[in-house]
Structure 1
Amino acid sequence: MKLMAKKGAKGLVLVVCVAALVGCSLPRPGPNKKEIFAGSVLKEGDAFIVSVNSRVTRATAVTPAFGFGSNFRNAGVVGSDTIAPGDILALTVFENVKDDPLLGNTGQRVSLLDQVQVDGAGFIFVPYAGRIKASGQSPEGLRRLITQKLDSQTPDPQVTVQRVAGDGSTVSVSGAVSGQGVFPIERPTRTLTAMLARAGGVAIEPAVALVRVTRGSHTDKIWLEDLYANPALDIALRAGDRIVVERDTRAYVAMGATGTQNRVPFESQTLSAIEAIAQVGGLNSTTADPTGVFVFRNEPAEIANSVLGRSDLTGDQRMVYVLDLTQPTGMFEARDFLVRDGDTVYVTEAPFVQWQRTIAAVTGTVGAATSLSDSATSSSGS
């Protein structure tokens, strides 16, 4: 009789546990496919759910395009000998006299004017020649000008001019480079790539490196790989340019039945859905549903209209793109579909996983309840 009562108690516990679990939701990493589709606009939700195909892939294939505007591209290379404000000059004057030179002491035919800096207005001062415009001149042009100024005061003066790039002909290089600093624009460093090399090169992976150049109030940037691949993009530098090398800040969020759940930075200029999944360790082989790979995105109205074949949508639209990796072309679609900055890549769990979780919860609950019942029966029997 006691045995039958015990079995009846266990059966009652099992019924109660199953009923309780049916009436509530077990823990899980996110919504299932049915719940996602329930949020569709077709079911009075607020998101458009779209299966990815080649047409959708083409309509959504938008990648950030960077490059230099015409004000950068049309600036010619500064002549390596062009004098600029801030440059340092060394002037040497040879006078064809023995006793009474114009610039030197008696018997001194050679006079050296070292460390003559071009002022902010572009002028220098030379004794007996006066204030002379130096900026924009070549050393040879300035030499002739000084010679003309001195020629009427000392017989047949011989002048040499040497230029050293000074404060006025410099650019700053900072960010992810091996050697940050302020560097002069000299003959070997008149272009952007040459100046980056002068700074020790880029200190991050080229695939995620962006080079930003600010000239005056205008700023443009370019992918480092594009800069290296196309010599025509290698702009000429100007005094005062500010060069910053920075890492690409784009990222997406991976969630659900993937190898890891995290905010993941891009590792290249373009990132496909299959690469995004691989980047987080792929699908979880024990829980993932390969028919339920979703990409959540706020899509600009122009693209949303193109994807949906409409023209009436305005403002950003909530879009959910669906990838079924089990379809004959599923892997190709995932390979071609581009993930963008701010996307959420979500992989649903396979249906049997929730069933297994329910069975495990029921079994564990029944076991605990049976143990409690046995303890109560033992206590009453004693």
Structure 2
Amino acid sequence: MSRALSTRRACLRLLALGGSALLAGCAALPEAGPSTGAVINSGAAAKTPAGDAGYNFMTLTEDTARALNQASGDGAAAAALSAFAALPSALPLGRIGIGDLLHVTLWEPNPAGTTLLSPPGLDVSLRVDPSGMVELPYVGALAVAGRTPLSVERTIMAVLAGQGHNIQAAVLDAQAVSGTVIVQGEANRPGAYPLTAGAQSLLDLIALAGGSRLADYDTIVRVSRGGARAQAPLSCITGNSALDIPIAPGDAVLLLPRRLEFYAFGAVNHPGLFPYDSANISLVEALADIYGLQDNLAAPRGVFIYRRQAGAAQSVYQLDLSQAEGFFIADLFVVRPGDVIYVSDAPVADVSKVLQTISGISGVAGIPRNFGAPY
């Protein structure tokens, strides 16, 4: 045996011993997050009384993906309905309000014909003051805010009943300032809009204001009334007629940009923060946005979606892309704004890290790709 061959074998023995030591210390290798087993085991522990993982765990199938999508949609609509229902009650349309300009006419009929009270008659315009009152000649101070013009007419005629022969009154809300609604924000034509019998719903008002400059899914509609406010995505309102609530005089509607994102971490080709720029984004679309999984590091069965929902338990969903139907399930599952997509490392990735370390020390080149070496 030549001296060169003996030296080479000795070096290989040292390399093997070093590799064994490094493999024994795999737990100390750098990782992007928990392993597949750690996430699954913690999810299983959370189902037991002693578990403290703090989240629900579910493996995704076609049936569970459909059920989760339906539950998420119903929850958003229910939350929006609850928020709008909590708004204080408001005066219905057709009531006199503070700031309105009333046009009042009085006249007295007689057997010989219609004669005005005093030529050329009483015909006045009165602005409703902040206390909801007007000062009408022959009548005095009169509370009118919150009342209909017909109700005010009857009160005037009752007060004047003893001062003439069948005195009549006509009240017109000529300038119903209180019957307008303010639209602001991302509307194409923001401003004050009068409410009419044919345009009283939230979507009617948004249409009068030219709609939103942003896409429906990218717009939040906030309604303010009497010091309280409620909001919902415009796409949620247009998709559910029960959310197209009646608008009341004095309401303010603000259209806001809805800045939404989802996140990706772990063994993916493009980790980071991504805009949620569609009404719905499937997991297949989200995976395409992040350029898929790193084929030399990722565990195909270790695709997890972390989700936190208001008023509900935090959850983790597992997708197994090692199964043939995995991408069909991913196409059914809808990623929600705020979701975190995490892909764990495959066990062989630890071997890759060890081999890379050995390679850096020993100068060994050419690590086989099927051992997980990133080239």
Give the TM-score band, short-chain normalised.
Answer: 0.5 to 0.7
Of 32, 47, 64, the match for 1:29: 32
Range 145-154 or range 280-289, more displaced:
145-154
Q: Give, in whole Å, the separation in 1 of the partners of 2:196 and 2:310.
A: 46
Q: 1:260 Cα deviation (Å)?
A: 2.6
Counterpart in the other structure of 1:83: 96
1:206 aligned onto 2:209: no
Residue among 129, 136, 142 paired with 1:126? 136
Equivalent pair of 2:282/2:333 in contact (CA under 8 Å)? yes
The residue aligned with 2:357 is: 361
Give 1:206 deviation, angstroms.
Answer: 0.7
**Could you say if the C-alpha distance between residues 366 and 179 of structure 1 is closer, same or farther in structure 2, counting changes exceeding 3 Å?**
farther
For residues 97-144 of structure 1, what are the alpha-carbon distances to aligned partners after superposition, in whole Å with 9 as ceiling and x for unaligned? xxxx978xxxx8377645x21134533222234334444555577568
Amino acid at match of 1:235: I
The structure-2 alpha-carbon separation of the partners of 1:157 and 1:223, relative to structure 1 and needing over 3 Å to count, comes to: same
Q: Does 1:324 align with 2:324?
A: no
Where does residue 330 of structure 2 map in the other structure?
Answer: 334
- Decide whether aligned partners of structure 1 residues 298 and 5 sit closer, same or farther in structure 2, where only a CA change above 3 A counts: same
1:51 paired with 2:59, answer yes
The total of aligned residue pairs comes to: 344
Distance 2:252 2:326 in 1: 46
CA contact (8 A) 2:100 2:173 kept: no
Q: What letter matches 1:367 in structure 2?
A: G
| Post-superposition offset of 1:325 | 2.0
Higher mean C-alpha deviation, range 60-69 or range 38-47: 38-47
Contact 2:87–2:228 (8 Å) recurs in 1: no
CA 1:45–1:361 in structure 2 vs 1: closer, same or farther (change >3 Å)? farther
The equivalences for 1:263-302 within 5 A come to: 263-264=273-274, 266-267=276-277, 271-285=281-295, 287-297=297-307
* Separation in 1, partners of 2:360, 2:220: 54
Distance 1:285 1:244, change over 3 A: farther
- For the residue of structure 2 that corresponds to 1:65, the secondary structure is helix
Larger Rg: 1
Cα deviation digits, residues 336-372 of structure 1 (max 9, x gap): 345456543211234554444433332232239xxxx
Determine if the alignment matches structure 1 residue 348 to structure 2 residue 354: no
Q: SS of the counterpart of 2:360?
A: helix
Alpha-carbon distance in 1 for matches of 2:206, 2:288: 33
Give structure 2 stretches of 5+ with no counterpart: 110-115, 365-375
Amino acid at match of 2:61: N
Q: 1:280 to 1:113 in 2, by over 3 A?
A: farther
Contact 2:303 2:319 in 1 (8 A): yes
- Gaps of at least 5 residues in structure 1 are 304-315, 369-382
Tell me the secondary structure at the aligned position of residue 363 of structure 2.
helix
TM-score by length of 1: 0.66
Please give the alpha-carbon distance, in whole angstroms, between the structure 2 residues aligned to 1:38 and 1:187.
Answer: 60
Pairing of 1:1-382 with structure 2 (within 5 A): 14-15=15-16, 18-19=19-20, 21-25=22-26, 26-37=29-40, 39=42, 41=44, 47=53, 50-54=58-62, 56-57=64-65, 60-61=68-69, 62-63=71-72, 64-66=75-77, 67-68=80-81, 78-79=92-93, 81-91=94-104, 109=120, 113-114=124-125, 116-136=126-146, 161=172, 163-166=174-177, 168-178=178-188, 183-185=193-195, 190-216=200-226, 219-231=229-241, 233-248=243-258, 252-264=262-274, 266-267=276-277, 271-285=281-295, 287-297=297-307, 320-339=316-335, 343-367=339-363
Q: Distance in 1 between matches of 2:85 and 2:57?
A: 44
Q: Which amino acid aligns with 1:22?
A: L
1:64-118 CA distances to partner (integer Å, 9 max, x unpaired)? 3334359589989944x5422321234567999xxxx978xxxx8377645x211
One-letter amino acid of the structure 2 residue matched with residue 291 of structure 1? R
Structure 1 SS opposite 2:358: helix
Q: Distance in 2 between matches of 1:53 and 1:354?
A: 29
Q: Given that residues 142 and 161 in structure 1 are in contact (C-alpha distance below 8 angstroms), is that contact kept between their aligned partners in structure 2?
A: no
CA contact (8 A) 2:264 2:273 kept: yes
C-alpha distance 339-156 of structure 1, shift in aligned 2 (>3 A) = closer
